Structure 1
Amino acid sequence: MNDAQDTQRTLDLALRIGELLMSNGAGAADVTATMSSICHHLGLRSTLVDVTFTTLTLSHQSAVDQAPVTMRRHVTHREIDYADLTAVDLLVSELLVDGIDRDDAAAEIARISSTGRPYPRWLVTLAWGMTGAGVALLIGGDWVVMLVAALAAGCIEVLQRRLERRRLPLFYSQVAGALLATLIAVGLAATPLPLSPSLVVSATIVTLLAGLGFVGSIQDALTGFYITANARIMEVLIATIGILVGVSLGLGIGSALGVDFQLDPGTARLSQLPSVVGGAAICAAGFAVSAYSPVRVLLPVGLIAGGATGLAFVLQQNGLDRAPAAAVAAVAIGFVSYAAGRSFRVPPLIIVVSCIVPLLPGLSIYRGLALLGADDLTGLLAMITAGGVAIALSAGVLLGEYVAQPVGREARRLERRLSGPRLVGPLRARTRR
């Protein structure tokens, strides 16, 4: 094998690994650092790495008088699969300590990318239902509201999966999901059943927000990858606007049919803390299953999410606004997730994203839409609060990762090179001398 072929095989391996990381929600800084580490370890010094939201580029020039070898891959498929993310992360760690050679790593990457999902579809639908039920319990719903929220979330998952198979853009699937949830609530409001339809809508809004790239977009913005950050933020905004459109359409249909229901969350009391903690744990564990997370991480995800959400609830009960309370809870999630990820051999990103799901501002979004629909401009304040909570969550978990990472000499060198915390990929890696 000549040098050009050897270089191409190394670049191809790094690109395939980067594509899997990027398509499963890893930040651009983590993808860049991982691809650079692989190339350096396999003998390609000073490889140029360029990462955007849709394209990965690697270029290596062995000498000044030699033509550079440049290869690209496009990220076209995006579906969260934390089983693949974990497998790739473990493979990279093994490769960088010479536990596996390049050819075996390439064969393993091909196997990971072509292997089916670890859980059956019915279990994923059930997990989405569990997520909706957990959110309903978290925001004060009784067992009837939990049951309806679980059924609505499961129906939304099936609907969005069918629309995805028809290659419908994310915006329209979000509109369809939010519209379905709101129409279910409208139908319930027309019955004499003693339940709060608005809580059902709020719970399903959280399930629609779950899995969006909040953490990745803020991480890219904070670490200097502004083009990728803009693309991720735009994707999140379009998906969120789809939710707003769907809920607004549903409320409009309800008003046209003479069925109106207002949000009445009641007064939260400290005595509700057990329900808040339990609902958050159920919600986070359900989302982790729906994202194909390894089974070994479900217990720590539930414990961390329950503790962090309980912390935010207690802070709010003691007079702290929602956004600062969410930020404090997010910092705690980021700090604990780093150690938990190392202990359970999963990327911290899996724990972080799952644990912030119960804190997503579904209630604020619905409150804002309901008020705006009634020509009450105070609904804008609720929407601003929802945006502030989302930003606080994403920035908070990254700050927690900053605090949690080691402060030794090697880690400081790596932090200066990456300009940000690592949520995927090894913190330290040996390289060949």
Structure 2
Amino acid sequence: MNAPPPDRHEEHRGDDRDPREVREINATMDLALRIGELLLSSGAGAGDVSAAMNNVARSCGLRGYSADVMFTELTMSQQSSPDQPALIQIRQVRYREVDYGDLTEVDHIIRDLVAGRIDRGEARARLNRISSTGHQRPRWSVTAALGVMGAGVGALLGGDWVVVLVSAAAAMLVDRMQRRMGKRRLPTFYQQVAGGLLATLIAVGVTATPAEVSSSLVISTSIVMLLAGVNFLGAIQDALTGFPVTAGARILEAFLNTSGVVAGVSGGLQVADVLGIDLGRVNPGAYTIANVPVMVVGGAVAAAGYAFSAYAPVRSLAPIGAVAAVAVGVYAAAYDRGFGIAWSSALAALLLGLVSYPVASRAKVPSLVVVAACITPFLPGLSIYRGLTLLATDAASALLAMVTAVAIALGLSSGAILGEYLAQPIRREARRLENKLAGPRLVGPYTVLGASGTRRRQRKRQRRREADAD
């Protein structure tokens, strides 16, 4: 018995979607993906990027969608019903220079879109302006800011005025060299090798002078800006917020970059041996603890310098310096009372998480800008560097250093996230958001509330524009 011929209408039912509806869906997904790309390339965590994409899509009235965040790829799909083909868009994320100024403007776009103050067309136009314009500061000022950051780190790690000056000079010279290498599109690993080599040669040159300085301390302070503490911290944050694949990729990147620094430092020490310069016994990652006032000032200077070098708005520099100074003071007090480096870091990060939310709100910047800048003095980069350097000669010390780095990163990440958990419901208690807690948000609004009201306002503005056009 022959089977009945297939129903032509049944066969093509999945292709009967209104073209205007398809264009609307594609436009919304494209906006969400472009916003997510800029946030991820600017250092936002995978959880924040996923929440921002969901907020944008929901504010524009999109339903039946899913968003996926990977380390180098963003994916978004939409399927209105099971009998219709899914619409899928994929966007590659190629990391660029972090720009907290652009990040702040994108954060304002998301908040205005969620609140219904702008529609999708205006959000797209504003995003195009951000993407098409360059940085708002001359490059020489960024190099100078990195020098200020290096000086602050030198003071924070207990260096005298010679070490502070060398740290500042090394940070600026390494930045200029890596900038030139980046224009030639050399991979980051080779830039790290060259940076570690240059910083070590600077330390070798200083040690060859009559100045009485510790070669180990000079090397440690000169390579701090090269160490991948931020990436390692972001990896722990992604792991804690449910993005293990992205966390694994970031951990691999952090260790690869730090390995480049280790190779560069090793090359510099070999050059010193060839030239016959006696550096004494070099202790990798060595530093001392400065007195509390110097630590507080050094931490504030380092945080503000990093924020300026990352193009954070000028209005946020003073609050960032003040918050960093308080956090360093808390860390020093806890460490003096025997809490240990990991717990002291966690307490300081908890304070940052609690304070960054209201401070960022007053400065009109995302919380990520405040947290990332203020957490700079506590990064575990030196412990990672020490562990990788000692891996071939002293396995026990290397393991201890790596465990210390993981403990510091866990303390900083968990403390900052816990602070956000506690701060956001408290601030929004009047809006009854404590029962809707879905996770900390360092970028973008907390969630999309009153979406139906937002859409009503958008439709009302559309009808008003149509009436004015008639």
- With normalisation by structure 2, the TM-score equals 0.85
| 2:177 pairs with 1:159 | yes
Supply the distance in 1 between the matched residues of 2:128 and 2:339 (Cα, whole angstroms): 50
2-structure distance, mates of 1:372, 1:64: 54
What is the aligned partner in structure 2 of residue 283 from structure 1?
A: 302
Check whether the contact 2:229–2:379 (CA below 8 A) recurs between aligned residues. no
2:157 is the alignment partner of 1:135: no
The one-letter code of the counterpart of 1:106 is: R
Q: 1:332 is matched with which residue?
A: 351
- What 5-or-longer segments of structure 2 have no aligned partner? 1-18, 454-470
Q: What is the aligned partner in structure 2 of residue 432 from structure 1?
A: 452
Quick one: which amino acid aligns to residue 132 of structure 1?
G
Bigger mean CA deviation after superposition, 59-68 or 153-162: 59-68
What are the residue-to-residue correspondences of 1:228-307 with 2, within 5 Å?
228-258=246-276, 259-262=278-281, 268=289, 272-307=291-326
Aligned counterpart, 1:111:
129
* 2:460 corresponds to: none
After TM superposition, give the deviation of residue 376 of structure 1 in Å: 8.4
Contact 2:319 2:359 in 1 (8 A): yes
Identity %: 50
Residue 53 of structure 2 corresponds to residue 30 of structure 1: no
For 2:424, give the aligned amino acid: Q
Instruction: List per-residue Cα deviations over 1:323-377 (Å, max 9, x = no partner).
Output: 2211111111111112211221111111111111111245545666776787685
Q: Following the alignment from structure 2 to structure 1, what is the Cα–Cα distance between the partners of residues 162 and 367?
A: 35
Consecutive unaligned residues in structure 1, runs of 5 or more? none
Deviation at 1:429, TM superposition (A): 3.0
SS of aligned partner of 2:67: strand
Q: 1:146 to 1:267 in 2, by over 3 A?
A: closer
Q: One-letter code of the match for 1:286?
A: G
Tell me the amino acid that sits aligned with residue 415 of structure 1.
L
SS at match of 1:239: helix
Return the match for 1:411 from 433, 437, 440.
Answer: 433
1:308 aligns with 2:327: yes
- State the match for 1:3 in structure 2: 21
Q: Report how many residues are paired.
A: 428
Which residue in the other structure is 2:463 paired with?
none
Report the CA distance between 1:237 and its aligned residue.
1.8
Alpha-carbon distance, 1:96 to partner: 1.0
Cα distance in 1 for partners of 2:269, 2:123 equals 52
Q: 1:209 to 1:414 in 2, by over 3 A?
A: farther
In structure 2, the CA distance between the partners of 1:388 and 1:262, relative to structure 1 (3 Å rule), is farther
Provide closer, same or farther for how the CA distance between residues 117 and 268 of structure 1 changes in structure 2, counting only shifts above 3 A.
closer
Larger radius of gyration: 2
How far did residue 242 of structure 1 move?
Answer: 1.8
Contact 2:229-2:254 at 8 Å conserved across structures: no
The Cα shift of 1:414 comes to: 4.4
- Distance in 1 (CA, whole Å) between partners of 2:79 and 2:395 is 62
Q: Give the conservation status (yes or no) of the 8 Å contact 2:215–2:279.
A: no
5 Å-filtered alignment, 1:54-65, equals 54-65=72-83
Separation in 2, partners of 1:227, 1:369: 23
Cα shift at 1:277? 0.3
Distance 2:351 2:324 in 1: 10
Measure the CA separation in 2 of the matches of 1:306 and 1:261. 35
Match of 1:212 in 2: 230
How far off is 1:205 after superposition?
A: 2.6
Shift of 1:321: 1.6
Secondary structure of residue in 2 paired with 1:191: coil
Between the aligned partners of 2:323 and 2:292, the Cα distance in structure 1 is 15
Aligned-residue offset at 1:380: 4.2
SS of equivalent residue, structure 1 residue 298: helix
The alignment's C-alpha RMSD in Å is: 2.4
The 2-side partners of 1:186 and 1:283 are apart by 24
C-alpha distance in structure 2 between counterparts of 1:79 and 1:211, whole Å: 16
Letter in 1 for 2:452: R
1:15 aligns with 2:33: yes
Deviation at 1:255, TM superposition (A): 3.5
Q: Which SS does the other structure have where 2:437 is aligned?
A: helix
CA offset digits 1:356-411 (Å, max 9, x no partner): 11112455456667767876853543343234223322232122212222165853
Out of 78, 89, 92, the residue aligned to residue 74 of structure 1 is 92
Q: SS at 2:76's partner residue?
A: strand
**1:195-206 alignment to 2 at 5 Å?**
195-206=213-224
In structure 2, what is the Cα distance between the partners aligned to 1:160 and 1:241? 16
Partner deviation per Cα, 1:194-213 (whole Å, 9 max, x = no partner): 23332222222321136732
Cα distance between partner residues in 2 of 1:248 and 1:263: 11
Structure 1's 153 and 425: CA in aligned 2 closer, same or farther, altered over 3 A? same
Structure 2 Cα separation of the partners of residues 307 and 284 of structure 1 = 12
What TM-score, normalized by structure 1, do the two folds share?
A: 0.92
2:64 to 27, 31, 46: 46
- The answer to whether the 8 A contact 1:206-1:361 is kept is no
2:40 aligned partner, one-letter code: M
| Contact 1:214/1:394 (<8 A) preserved | no
Q: Secondary structure at the match of 1:49?
A: strand
